[in-house]
Structure 1
Amino acid sequence: MSPAPRYLPHYTLEDYARWEGDWELIDGVAISTGPSPFGPHERVISRLSFQIQTQIQQHRCPCEVYTNLDWIIGDDTVIRPDLMVVCRGQPENHLQRSPDLVVEVLSDSTRGRDLTAKRTLCRENNIPHYLIIDPADKTIQRVTAAGSDRPGLDAPLNLPLATAHCQIAIDPNRLFE
């Protein structure tokens, strides 16, 4: 083994904009996000999106649900969460400010990144609610500035969207039917 240090390229948003395919960029490290997730993952996202969008419309919240939008965090960090809720003005292109809610649904290929790097990014960017949903274990972990917890499945999970003066309630059981 060579005593010379290994060169790891440090990519930027400019590099990212030229790439084909599905990628994320975390602290300058390129991460392929393909192939697409499996059925259980997509069912949870679809059901969650429906629940949230229905309540946003019912309560006339100035928010939108996004399931395939890049969040540009910095010059060397771009992620594409499974789901985001954005209030107070909607992006025309990629999101360039912090969303109000970020959700990641765990899969074998994303588990480590969702539980570590993305959790840290959400905390560092003051995301009010970061939900980590595990369809295999049928659990939800809620991460906030105050810490994290694992609410049970027997009661709605209330999420105040403070910037929009709205609240949504997620029925966890309906996610895993």
Structure 2
Amino acid sequence: MTTPAALPGLLADLRARLHAAGVPAEPLARLIPARRVLLIQRPETLQEIGRAWPLGLLLLPEVPDAAGPLLHAEGTLTRARPPERVGYVAESARERDALRWTASRAGFATGQSVHVDPLPLDLEALAQGAAAEAGPILLAQDGSLRIRWAPAASPQDLGAYLRERTDLLLERAGR
């Protein structure tokens, strides 16, 4: 059972394991819409706002920020790719490619995963009972933190979920 009081220690342990194994964190970015600056039209771009490890639905920031969130919920995941000539069947495919090209234009390496507009989770409000949930994280009646990883799934203990996802990430990285 993971309580709000135990969560910072758990996240510090997971962060230490990932650092020790040398698992690279992936960039988090904020989408800056197209805008006009002094009569010059600037295209939309991505601005890196940090780095984090993907742990399923959640992102664990590489460097903890005392004032910032302990976790982020996954935003839009894309991989940087330079533009190419493509015929589209669906508008959604065109939009996904536009985001990939924006990531490439913003300077992310080709093929690099970029997490765009992650949602910071306010776990403090959850712990104080001011909110019933923060993204996929719920506060159970027994005071434990749980995660609903799929709409039809029953909530699972957050600590067990994070440990399992960290083990999978370490295994995938071959460490």
Query: TM-score, structure 2 length as denominator?
Result: 0.34
Comparing both chains, which one has the higher relative contact order based on Cα–Cα distances under 8 Å and sequence gaps of 6 or more? Answer: 2
Query: TM-score, structure 1 length as denominator?
Result: 0.34
